[in-house]
């Protein structure tokens, strides 16, 4: 049991040192700058700035004069980078943001089409049905993907015409290519369904302009996380150009889903947005260049990288099927060699998801992707000793403890 703050400090030091010796290729993580991190200790984190519905001026607690001003300033930054008229920053993560949209916009018995877990979906409506109350109210179908792991547009159009959903949710945790938002817009108007976009993974790429902005492509509403490809503090957001939808989302968030919304996120988020306005363009381009370079370097070494017919990826991640080389789920094995990445958590998928945001922020370029691919080859194809490769990975990772594209 912990007895002193010195023990706490020591444990955190151990964590930092361990993580500096790991090659972090987790697509849903990033490395926030010291400046961004520093704001998380501000006084806002101990205050109640909650407000009900979507009128931020009507704070329930007193003492919020400057908190209100700050939250509104942060709204302006968020609206600017996502080219949206309205935003809500109360969701404390992407999942809660998605829940607020699903619960706000769907009625009893409505059908949603989303990305299934087996295609690296996150599962906003699907897993929710495991909660008994929802199972009886919301129906879920899944969109199809083609051989390159891009959304199959034709099948989706056919499916939407046949099933008449009330909502299509684009975006997942393994997004390689932009989704056919534009292609579905007309049908959405004709059949009367909403297009929601779960940007949790690609938020940083949208903000940097390298990935299409779903709102500009015709999505009704977009939500996501601020800490994956977007290098901010952990948190969530919802944006839209439709005031009516945002009122419904606001009414759902409060009073149902959130009261204290962890206000210390706001200055940290504002700082990370300023950082992205200054360096986001270069950062986003390098992230995608690194993903493509790593995909090619792995393919060259005999790995089956998905999306081959479309140049592997247009995002911050790539997917590799290692089933022909090993018969176990990859993430826990790679962890033994100090390489952090993800499998799909089901424990029986041979696909590994490799992301480049953190390694890019820490200074890696295309040539480093060759070195990373070589580590994968040594471990998975050559079956070299994990401890030996792990030591090499560690000394390699320790060379990249700087931070680019940041204050
Ligand atoms: C990570 C993720 C979420 C959840 O975001 P949190 O910030 O962890 O709450 C939602 N949707 C997708 C597609 C994700 O990848």
Last residue within a domain, chosen from 240, 271, 302: 271
CA of 400 to the centre of ligand 1 (A): 27
352 DSSP β-pair partners: 320
| CATH code for the domain in which residue 82 is found | 3.40.640.10
Please enumerate in sequence order all residues whose Cβ is within 8 A of that of 235, keeping only pairs 6 or more positions apart, or say none: 89, 91, 92, 93, 225, 226, 227, 262, 265, 269
Last residue within a domain, chosen from 237, 271, 305: 271
| Shortest-distance atom of ligand 1 to CA 201 | 15
Residue 151 is classified by DSSP as: B
Would residue 366 count as lying in a domain?
yes
Task: Kindly state the tokens that stand for 218.
Answer: 């015709």
pLDDT band for position 188 (50/70/90)? very high
Pocket of ligand 1 (CB under 6 A): 28, 93-95, 98, 122, 171-173, 198, 200-201, 225, 236
Domains held by the chain: number: 2
- Would you say the pTM of this structure is higher than 0.95? yes
Based on the fold, state whether residues 246 and 115 are members of the same structural domain.
yes
Judge whether 315 and 325 are in contact, CB under 8 Å.
no
pLDDT at residue 378, rounded to an integer: 98
DSSP string, 58-101: SBSSSS-HHHHHHHHHHHHHHHHHHT-SEEE---SSHHHHHHHH
pLDDT at residue 348, rounded to an integer: 81
Q: Can you give the residue range of the structural domain that contains 285? A: 280-397
| pLDDT tens digits, one per residue of 275-320 | 999 999 999 999 999 999 999 999 999 999 999 999 999 999 999 9
How many whole angstroms separate alpha carbon 64 and alpha carbon 74? 15
Indicate the angle between helix axes 65-82 and 265-300, nearest 10 degrees: 30
pLDDT band for position 132 (50/70/90)? confident
pLDDT at residue 110, rounded to an integer: 93
| Shortest-distance atom of ligand 1 to CA 98 | 10
Based on the fold, state whether residues 108 and 141 are members of the same structural domain.
yes
Q: Is the per-residue pLDDT at 391 higher than 90?
A: yes
**Quick count: other Cβ atoms within 10 Å of Cβ 83?**
12
113 DSSP β-pair partners: 141, 168
In this structure, the residue with its CA closest to atom 13 of ligand 1 is 172
Based on the fold, state whether residues 226 and 301 are members of the same structural domain.
no
Last residue within a domain, chosen from 271, 304, 319: 271
pLDDT at residue 54, rounded to an integer: 64
Q: Is the per-residue pLDDT at 136 higher than 80?
A: no
Would residue 6 count as lying in a domain?
no
Q: Is the per-residue pLDDT at 130 higher than 90?
A: no
| pLDDT tens digits, one per residue of 37-64 | 999 999 999 999 999 876 788 899 999 9
Task: Kindly state the tokens that stand for 191.
Answer: 């059949």
| pLDDT tens digits, one per residue of 253-280 | 998 899 999 999 999 999 999 999 999 9
Mean pLDDT of the chain: 95
Would residue 252 count as lying in a domain?
yes
């Amino acid at each position: 049991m912990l007895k002193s703050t010195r023990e706490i400090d020591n444990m955190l030091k151990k964590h930092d040192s361990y993580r500096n010796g790991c090659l972090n290729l987790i697509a849903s993580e990033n490395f926030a700058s010291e400046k961004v991190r520093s704001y998380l200790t501000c006084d806002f984190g101990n205050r109640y700035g909650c407000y009900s519905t979507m009128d931020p001026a009507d704070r329930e607690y007193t003492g919020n004069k400057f908190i209100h001003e700050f939250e509104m300033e942060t709204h302006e930054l968020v609206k600017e980078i996502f080219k949206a008229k309205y935003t809500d920053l109360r969701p404390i993560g992407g999942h809660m943001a998605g829940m607020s949209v699903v619960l706000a916009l769907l009625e009893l018995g409505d059908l949603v089409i989303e990305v299934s877990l087996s295609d690296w979906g996150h599962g906003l409506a699907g897993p929710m049905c495991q909660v008994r109350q929802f199972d009886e109210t919301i129906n879920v179908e899944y969109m199809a993907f083609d051989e390159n792991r891009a959304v199959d547009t034709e099948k989706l159009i056919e499916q939407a015409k046949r099933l008449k959903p009330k909502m299509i949710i684009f975006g997942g945790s393994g997004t390689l290519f932009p989704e056919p938002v534009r292609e579905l817009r007309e049908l959405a108007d004709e059949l009367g369904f909403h297009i929601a976009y779960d940007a949790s993974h690609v938020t940083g790429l949208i903000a940097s302009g390298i990935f299409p902005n779903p709102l500009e492509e015709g999505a009704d509403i977009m939500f996501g996380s601020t800490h994956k490809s977007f290098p901010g503090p952990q948190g969530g957001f919802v944006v839209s150009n439709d005031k009516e939808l945002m009122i419904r989302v606001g009414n759902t968030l409060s009073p149902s889903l959130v009261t204290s919304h962890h206000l210390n996120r706001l200055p940290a988020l504002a700082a990370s947005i300023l950082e992205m306005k200054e360096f986001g363009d270069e950062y986003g381009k390098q992230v995608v260049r690194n993903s493509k370079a790593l995909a090619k370097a792995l393919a060259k070494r005999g790995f089956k990288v998905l999306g081959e017919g479309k140049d592997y990826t247009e995002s911050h991640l790539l997917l590799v099927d290692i089933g022909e080389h090993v018969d176990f789920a990859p993430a826990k094995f790679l962890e033994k060699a100090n390489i952090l990445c993800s499998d799909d958590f089901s424990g029986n998928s041979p696909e590994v998801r490799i992301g480049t945001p953190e390694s890019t922020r820490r200074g890696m370029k295309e040539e480093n992707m060759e070195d990373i691919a070589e580590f994968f080859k040594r471990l998975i194809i050559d079956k070299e000793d994990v401890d030996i490769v792990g030591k090499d990975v560690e000394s390699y990772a320790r060379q990249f403890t700087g931070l680019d594209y940041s204050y």
